[in-house]
Every structure is written in structure tokens, then in C-alpha cells.
Amino acid sequence: PTEPGPEQRERPRRRYRDGRWRTGPLRPRRRAVPAPLTVVFCHGYCLTQDSWHFQRAALRGRVRAVYWDQRSHGRSGLGRAGAAGEPVGIDRLGRDLKAVLDALVPEGPVVLAGHSMGGMTVMAFADQYPQYVRERVAGVMLVGTSAGRLGTVTLGLPAVGARALHRVVPGLLRALSTQVDLVERGRRATADLFATVVKRYAFGSYVDPVVARFAERMLESTPIDVVAEFFPAFTQHEKAEALAALEGVPTLVLAGDGDLLTPADHSAAIAEALPDAVLVVVEDAGHLVMMEHPGTVNREMAALLVRAAERAGAPLPDAVRESARGPEDGPARRPKGGPPPGAA
């Protein structure tokens, strides 16, 4: 869905002397109003657009935003490529993002936000459409993501166990994808174990049980055949060189220090490749940092929007500028870059 900013709200209607009703101001504006920012949110693997719940609440009525479910996730279907049996790759997701932008954001400056697989989608998009990035992208937010080397991630396990897991998981998922009904029954029977695994890999600290269950429901809603279909794409994802397309674009790179799926050093590597990027590592946070510490993430997001608006010459509500200076809900450290303009 697309949520309007203050500029897109319904304008007043007035009745003129000829008896006709017209929408808009009595006098035409003499100068064109700069186009407002539109933030497009890309969610992660086995999640949905609902994973941006707290960011959506923070921006509602203030900034125009687009939320979409990536192919095979949430309310989106397989798409023609998936239905035809074409393997899903991150580049395909980058082209999906281009289709979303063409349909819903035909003009004006854009800020691209991606979490985990969504961040990879943004990188693939930038790699394939560098001219679009130069002309339209005013800012980028990469949360808990990676530009490659995911096959080396240990997942918090001893190195030997991690290597064995990386070898076994693809085949195991393929086998399970042929037994969808059995897997779904097994999920229900092992709900408590599943909840424990989610808390281990999604969060780095205690979270409200309502938030934890919210995350569990998103993960549970992803069919096992979709889990299996997408998994190989991550070992093939190598987009370190593609980051060059984002040079000069205001960028926020944010990670949780306890992220076991896309460790913070992967975010540090992205920031190292983008000299103007602001790197924020949130303490006591896991992979779903935007749900675990929404106040911190929202504050940093607002600071990025201030930078993006300045780059694009776009209007930005004072409420967003103020939230960039507001209190955070958890400690964060900045290994490089210092505070962005407008942040405390």
C-alpha cells in the first residue's frame, strides 16, 4: 500500500461565481512546489511489509511511503518468472523493485529502505539501474543486511558446525518443500521450540511478548517451499562492487550488534565502501532491530530523511526534523561518520 504524506491529502473545494466547484487554492501558485520525498520499504526473507510496523507508524501522515511484499511473500504471488519455474535470484528482486517504483512513484525523489533481503534488493536495483539512482534516489537505508560472503556466517555456531549446516540446509529445505502439509503440521507441533529459535535469531535482548509473537506469525506464514526457493539466492549474492552506484547518496547503514544472521561486520564493510555513509550499530539488538529498538531506528531514519530532503531540495515536515533529534530507546554507537546533520 501507499500512504500519503501531508502534501497528498485532499485539497479543499471552493465554489466560484459561475456556480462551479473546483478543487485547490483560489489563486494558482506562481512557483512550482518541490516534489516531496517518497520512502519505499523493502522487507526481508520470510517476512512481510508488516515488519516495518513501527516505522510506518512513525511516518504516517508525515512522509509519503510505499510498502510492498516481495514476490512469494505476504500478499504477493509468485510472479510470472516464479510461476514459470525460473530460479529466484536477488537480481530478479531488484527488477521487481523497479516495477514497483515505476507503478507507484513515477516522479519525485525517492528514499529506498531495505532490511536483510530487502537491503540486497536495493543493492541489486542500484547495480542494474545506476542512472535511476543518480537522477531519483535521494537517500538509502540499509538495515541488517550484507553485500556478500553470507556463506561464511557462522550463525553463532562453532565453525565446524556452521560449515556442516551450510552444506546440509539447501538439500534439507528442498526435501521438505515436497512435504508441505507434513511441515505445516510439524510447525504446529513444535511451536514452543520455534518460538525459542525465533527469539534466539531475531532479537538480541528481551522484547515484549506481543512483538515476539508478531515476528513469529510472519515467519510461520512463509510456506516451506518459498523458504527453500529463496535460500540458494543468498549464497550467490555478491554485490560489494555494486555499492559504487550508491556513492554520494546519503546512506544510513544500521545493524544490531547481536545479529547472528547478517552480523554487524557485514554492515561495517558496506559503510567502509561508502565514505559518506553513516554507520550505526545498535547495542543489545538482533536481526529484527527495527522491531526490537524502534525508537533508535526511527530517530536514525528521520536523520537520514533530513539529509535526503536537503539533497533533493524537497520539503519535509518539522515533526520529522524534530524526531531526528528526539530521545532514543536504546544505546547506539557510531564507529564512523559521526552524527548526521540534524541528529543530536
Candidates 331, 284, 283, 274; CA nearest to 304 is 274
Task: Judge whether 86 lies within some domain.
Answer: yes
Min mean pLDDT across 126-140, 186-200, 201-215, 330-344 is at: 330-344
73: three-class secondary structure by DSSP = coil
Residue type at position 142: L
Phi and psi, residue 325, nearest 5°: -110, 0
Are the CB atoms for 113 and 67 separated by under 8 Å?
no
pLDDT (average), residues 229-247: 91
Q: CA-to-CA distance for 326 and 295, rounded, in angstroms?
A: 9
pLDDT score recorded for residue 341? 33
What sign does the dihedral 258-260-264-265 (CA atoms) show?
Answer: positive
Helices (H) and strands (E) in the chain, counts: 14, 10
Full residue range of the structural domain in which residue 168 is found? 35-333
pLDDT digits (tens, 9 = 90+) for 84-100: 667 788 999 999 999 99
pLDDT score recorded for residue 333? 44
Task: Judge whether 260 lies within some domain.
Answer: yes
198: three-class secondary structure by DSSP = helix
Average pLDDT, the chain: 83
List % helix, strand, coil for the chain (3-state, nearest 5). 50, 15, 40
pLDDT (average), residues 269-297: 96
Question: What stretches of 1-104 adopt beta strand conformation (E)?
Answer: 2-3, 13-15, 21-23, 38-42, 64-68
Grid-cell match 543489545, residue found? 284
Q: CA-to-CA distance for 13 and 29, rounded, in angstroms?
A: 16
Rounded to 10 degrees, the C-alpha dihedral 68/61/119/81 comes to 20
| Cell representation of residue 254 | 544500521
| pLDDT of 79 above 50 | yes
Task: Judge whether 101 lies within some domain.
Answer: yes
Candidates 176, 110, 169, 180; CA nearest to 138 is 110
pLDDT digits (tens, 9 = 90+) for 298-322: 999 999 999 999 999 999 999 999 9
Q: CA-to-CA distance for 326 and 299, rounded, in angstroms?
A: 7
pLDDT score recorded for residue 8? 59
Task: Judge whether 303 lies within some domain.
Answer: yes
Q: How many domains does the chain have?
A: 1
What sign does the dihedral 100-101-105-110 (CA atoms) show?
Answer: positive
Kindly report the CA angle at 243 between 297 and 114, in degrees rounded to 5?
Answer: 30
Q: What is the CATH number of the domain that holds 253?
A: 3.40.50.1820
pLDDT score recorded for residue 344? 28
Task: Judge whether 58 lies within some domain.
Answer: yes
CB atoms within 10 A of CB 274: 21
Rounded to 10 degrees, the C-alpha dihedral 254/257/118/267 comes to 60
Q: CA-to-CA distance for 314 and 301, rounded, in angstroms?
A: 16
Candidates 74, 77, 116, 36; CA nearest to 313 is 36
Q: What percent of the chain has pLDDT over 90?
A: 58
Q: How confident is the model at residue 208 (pLDDT cuts 50, 70, 90)?
A: very high
Task: Judge whether 296 lies within some domain.
Answer: yes
Which comes out higher in pLDDT, residue 172 or 262? 262
Task: Judge whether 340 lies within some domain.
Answer: no
Q: How confident is the model at residue 204 (pLDDT cuts 50, 70, 90)?
A: very high
Task: Judge whether 79 lies within some domain.
Answer: yes
Pairing label, strands 278-282, 251-256: parallel
